[in-house]
Copies of this chain bind each other. A is one copy, B any other.
Amino acid sequence: LIDLLSRGAPVDPDVLVGIGDDAAVVRTRPGQDLLLTCDLLHEGVHFRSSWYADRDPGLLGRKALAASISDIACKGGLPRFCLVTLGAGQDLTAEFLTAVFSGLYALAREHGISVVGGDTVGLAQGLLLDVFLTGEVQTGRALLRTGAQPGDLILVTGGFGLARAGLELLDKPPARAAACGLEAAVRERAVAGQLRPPVRLAVARRLAATGLLHAMSDTSDGLAAQVHHICRQSGCGAIVRADAVPVDPAAVGVARACGVEPLAWALWGGEDYELIMTAPPAAQPALLAAMAGAATEGQDGRCELSLTAIGRITAPGEILLQREDGTTVPLDFAGYQHFRLPGEGAGEERF
């Protein structure tokens, strides 16, 4: 659909990166490029208000902004100005909406982002939050999906599968029942993975500043899906090692309790707001050193600052998953399907 809709979009020499990456990159002045991105959270597709009303409504505003920050961060940019479109159903109270915005503003303040406007509309029911965010990056230094080269390592921050595990616990009574034997801390960690994603801004900027990365993106649309995007846009193939994918321990616990293979949630669960990047193997020590520096800055209450090589970029060809027994199979894309909540519309594509 995106390819279809993209046809006929005006062409402009000042657009360094338009349709097709996490954020648009446009030239506004010598020395500095402007990043533009937006991210919609829509009730019934991405979340249910009750998840947040039962806990902290501020987490909903926080997540809406975190999603856009992730797009700016993974380009190596610094987020700056934000607009918020709010659609709110008549069933929602002003108290709830105020709390939603408080969470958004708190995260904005933490990262020096100014919320400078927006639009609101009253709906019959439900809630939508569309966050537009600008960012700045030194001219020509934006990290794109197009720069991967054969021989590059594929590296990721953090662990995977957590957001999907949290979604299952929040939205599916059978999963909750299956997981009731787990430690409360495990279940809470999974739910937090869905409701309170990490913000990898400081880490992204440190990694970008090394100048050693060939490509970077985030994994919110799914880890496997993003490997596909990078390969397609860089004109490369890839091989991902199943045993190298870092699956969050809590996701492993919930998945096993639900009778699901944890790796499936890690590869296709989506909404894990981690960074994925490619770089020559020789860059790995310097990248690890950059990560270690970020550890002292505090990562939004989390300390999982691992950087894991999960595979390699290969010459143009297949995108493969190497299983633990050494055999390979095509790596399914299928990353967006997690967005589908029961009884609701289809998934999401970025453009």
Contact = CB atoms under 8 A, between A and B. Distances in A.
B132 A44 contact: no
Contact of A116 (B15, B80, B86, B350): B15
A39 B19 CA distance: 20
A237 to B, nearest CB: 26
26 contacts: A1-B94, A2-B120, A4-B97, A8-B101, A10-B108, A10-B113, A11-B114, A12-B112, A18-B115, A19-B118, A24-B81, A24-B117, A26-B80, A28-B34, A29-B29, A29-B32, A34-B34, A34-B134, A36-B132, A38-B118, A38-B130, A40-B87, A45-B121, A46-B121, A83-B132, A90-B345
Contact of A83 (B24, B123, B344): B24
Interface string A78-112: 00110101110110001001100110010011001
B26 A114 contact: yes
Interface in A22-37: 23-24, 26, 28-29, 32, 34, 36-37
A185 interface: no
Copies in the complex: 2
A335 to B, nearest CB: 15
Contact of A122 (B34, B124, B346): B346
Contact of A124 (B2, B21, B28, B44): B44
Q: Which of A7, A11, A29, A83 has the most chain B CB atoms inside 10 A of its CB?
A: A83
Nearest to A118: B351
A9 B136 CA distance: 21
Contact of A42 (B19, B87, B114, B117): B87
A243 to B, nearest CB: 34
B85 A38 contact: yes
A39 B136 CA distance: 23
Contacts of A117: 18-19, 21, 23-24, 36-38, 350-351
